[in-house]
Amino acid sequence: MQFGMMHHLSKGNIKKGIDQNAMRIAIASGKGGTGKTTVSTNLALAAARRGLRAVYVDCDVEEPNGQLFLKPQITSSRAVGRLYPNVDETRCTHCGLCDEICQFSAIVCVGQKVLVYPELCHSCGGCTLVCRSGAVTEAVEQMGTVSGGMAGNLHFVGGTLRIGEAMSTPLVRQVKDKIHNEDVAILDCPPGTSCPVIESVRGADLVLLVTEPTPFGLNDLRLAVDMVNALHLPLAVVVNRAGNGDRKTYDFCQIRGIPIWATIADDRRVAEAYSRGELAYNAVPEFRVAIDNVLDRVSQPGRKNLLVESGLVRQ
């Protein structure tokens, strides 16, 4: 079987295949269940309806569910693989350089034996570069699939991680490589603050954090904000299921100078639409207004507006 291979990444080609003029909005959250996919699918739909060349990118490859709501017509699907070291023991001098460069213990020298753990490999290619004898080459292992299609006039891209595969970050990279010349790309990121999330938001023009005004929501929002700040990316917040009277989330955003771009009420109609696999943008007028307001901010001409509002750049 032919797989799409994971290429070595460098500073110069991380954004290979991505139109530098495209606005990339990463929708993330510190925890699961905040409504991240609800916001991202509806925002992508709103952008397409406005006449923008929009693409919805499902980076949550471990639990992809955007297709349940957008119902795209899938037109392409291919198996993709990642590279991992393959050692020819007859050529190996057991110098230990491959072991030394690997930060994840995917290749380990033990005496006169070299052990390889493909499930730990991040496909950086460092071990092949330092091997002077040419004993370390690269093999390809299937890690999942990347699919593409259309939901009306909205482009759809998604990935599905192979069951049992421990490393999802390389697949996230391949999903992002499918972004091309769209006006706006909405990236639906995995929940949390782990490596797949960092890879999903990397290179985004804005990270939109979806949270809920609860103690658990606030705790995980703090973690997500710290992650985004560490990456020096502009951010804004959407407060979902608002209306329970807890002001701590709003106070936190005010103290940290984080703009709240939308407050979505805890509306039973949104939950009912969600349970039917229907987009709330079509079913709940108030929800549609909130999403349109977010899109208005996203589609402002000039990226500097986003940076200024986020406090990362001063006018």
Higher pLDDT, 178 or 313: 178
**Domain 23-53+181-309 shares a fold with domain 82-141:** no
Reported confidence tier of residue 1, pLDDT bands at 50, 70, 90:
very low
Question: Per-residue pLDDT averaged across 112-139, rounded?
Answer: 93
pLDDT at residue 11 above 50? no
Determine the Cα–Cα distance for residues 124 and 167; give it in Å rounded to an integer.
13
Residue 290, C-beta contacts closer than 8 angstroms, at least 6 positions apart: 262, 263, 264
Are the C-beta atoms of residues 128 and 85 closer than 8 Å to each other?
A: yes
Q: What is the pLDDT of residues 177-235, one digit of tens each?
A: 999 888 999 999 999 999 999 999 999 999 999 999 999 999 999 999 999 999 999 99
Residue 18 is predicted with a pLDDT of 36
What are the two backbone dihedrals, phi and then psi, of residue 293, each rounded to the nearest 5 degrees? -65, -40
CATH fold of the domain at 23-53+181-309:
Rossmann fold (3.40.50)
Higher pLDDT, 24 or 275: 24
Percent of the chain at pLDDT > 70 equals 87
Q: Please write down the long-range contacts of 72-77, taking CB distance under 8 Å and 24 or more positions apart.
A: 72/149, 72/150, 72/151, 72/154, 72/156, 73/149, 73/150, 73/151, 74/147, 74/148, 74/149, 74/156, 75/148, 75/149, 75/150, 76/147, 76/148, 76/149, 77/145, 77/146, 77/147, 77/148
pLDDT at residue 123 above 90? no
Q: Can you give the residue ranges of every domain in the chain?
A: 23-53+181-309, 82-141
Q: Which helix (H) or strand (E) holds 122?
A: none
Residue with tokens 């759809």: 156
Q: Which helix (H) or strand (E) holds 300?
A: none
Residue 290 is predicted with a pLDDT of 95
- Provide the token pair at 249: 């989330």
Determine the Cα–Cα distance for residues 138 and 126; give it in Å rounded to an integer.
11
Q: What is the pLDDT of residues 130-172, one digit of tens each?
A: 999 999 999 998 899 999 999 999 999 999 999 988 889 889 9
Residue 172 is predicted with a pLDDT of 95
Question: Per-residue pLDDT averaged across 297-306, rounded?
Answer: 59
Q: What is the pLDDT of residues 247-291, one digit of tens each?
A: 999 999 999 999 999 999 999 998 898 888 789 999 999 999 999
Residue 122 is predicted with a pLDDT of 85
Asked if CATH classification 3.20.20.20 holds for the domain at 82-141, the reply, yes or no, is: no
Residue ranges of alpha helices (H) inside the chain are 36-49, 66-70, 97-101, 126-130, 169-176, 195-201, 215-230, 248-256, 268-275, 280-283, 285-298, 304-309
Question: Per-residue pLDDT averaged across 21-38, rounded?
Answer: 89
Residue 298 is predicted with a pLDDT of 81
Q: How many CA atoms lie within 13 A of 144 on its CB side?
A: 27
DSSP symbol at 120: G
Are the C-beta atoms of residues 174 and 204 closer than 8 Å to each other?
A: no
Average pLDDT for the chain: 87
pLDDT at residue 293 above 90? yes
Percent of the chain at pLDDT > 90 equals 72
Determine the Cα–Cα distance for residues 53 and 238; give it in Å rounded to an integer.
23
Determine the Cα–Cα distance for residues 127 and 85; give it in Å rounded to an integer.
7
- Provide the token pair at 35: 């409504």
pLDDT at residue 13 above 90? no
